[in-house]
Amino acid sequence: MALLITDACINCDVCEPECPNQAIAMGPEIYRIDPDLCTECVGHFDEPQCVQVCPVACIVIDPRHTESGETLRQKYLRLQGGVPGGRPAR
């Protein structure tokens, strides 16, 4: 599942640099998460880092983008070039 930043976002700027996939960017009014890049930190961390650092708890599971753990792992592998650790597949 991709994550979603709700309207409760206060634009504190702490989530964006924590995202290992660069899925978080400033939108027209608040930060947004690109569901094509969000893996909920699968492959990088045990828990989503943006959720961990958010001071207002405005990052939730996006019901429009539900994905299994295996799907998130496959997305992680695709984003990292095919293998864990970011090394391209040979």
Backbone dihedral region for residue 82 (phi beyond 0: left; psi -120 to 50: alpha; all else: beta): left
Q: CA-CA distances (angstroms) from residue 76 to 26, 29, 88?
A: 22, 28, 12
Per-residue confidence band for 87, with pLDDT thresholds at 50, 70 and 90: very low
Question: How many domains are there within the chain?
Answer: 1
pLDDT at residue 90 greater than cutoff 60: no
Q: What is the mean pLDDT of residues 25-42?
A: 97
Domain containing 43 equals 3-86
**Residue 11 to residue 54: CA distance in whole angstroms:** 10
Bridge partners of 82, per DSSP, are 88
Q: Which two tokens stand for residue 25?
A: 């960017």
CATH of residue 24's domain is 3.30.70.20
**Residue 31 to residue 79: CA distance in whole angstroms:** 21
